Each structure stands twice: as structure tokens, then as C-alpha cells.
Homo-oligomer: A and B are copies of this chain.
Amino acid sequence: MPTPAVRFRVDFGRDEAVGPGKIALLEQIGRGGSLSQAARELGMSYRRAWQLLASLNGCFHERVAVTAKGGAGGGGAQLTPFGRQLIRAYRTFDAEIQARAARCFRPISSQARRRPRARKGAPVLRLKDR
């Protein structure tokens, strides 16, 4: 029986959502201590990583990471205690709701087809049996 997977993001304000991409970026900053390296590891542009981090920092009264002075392309970056707290809360929540989904959707999952659809756009089932 396939296990359902929940994809989610958490809205904290009107325009700001925290999802898997931003959390992965923070985790990578925590591992490597660099925004440009984190961007490379995640296959995104430095500009994109910078935007995600600016978005996160703008979302809360406390910063999630601070960047140190550096040359072009960026100096070091470091998570703040608040940034680490955000990662922990997100990962805890993630694990809990995946487990919850497995229980909650058990009777639904047991009916799920595993095969991919035959052709993109092709109707899987005729709605009207005339």
C-alpha cells in the first residue's frame, strides 16, 4: 500500500510562506556556513538563494541567518538561534503530519493506484458511460 506524502508550506503572514525550499536552504547554510555554497548545493542561483533568505528574514522580527562581510559572491552565512528553532519546529511538524497522514488516509491509500498516468493529458477514465 502506498504511503501518502504531504507537501506543505506554512503561512505566517499575509505574503510569507515557509516551505521545503526555504528550510532546505537554511539547513544547507547550517551545514556549510555559506550562502553561495548553499545555493550551489541546492542547484539554485545565488540571487534566488539571497531572495529566499531575505524573504525569511523579512518574515519575522528576528533574523533566521546573518551574513558576514565578504567579497563578491558573498562571505560567510550563519544561522541564528531563531533560524535553528524554525528548522526544528518545521522538521518536527513535518514528521508528525506525515505520520498522521499515514493513519488518517489509510482507507484512502489502500485504494490508490500506483501506476503513473498513461499519457499526459489523456483522460484516465471516461466520466460518462454512454
Contact = CB atoms under 8 A, between A and B. Distances in A.
Give the size range of A's interface with the partner: 35 or more
Contact of A55 (B100, B107, B124): B124
The secondary-structure label for the interface of chain A is mixed
Nearest to A57: B125
A62 to B, nearest CB: 5
B57 A85 contact: no
A63 interface: yes
A124 B58 contact: yes
A2 B8 contact: no
Could you say which of A11, A60, A61, A127 has the most chain B C-beta atoms within 10 Å of its C-beta? Answer: A127
B4 A53 contact: no
A39 interface: no
A69 interface: yes
A69 B130 CA distance: 7
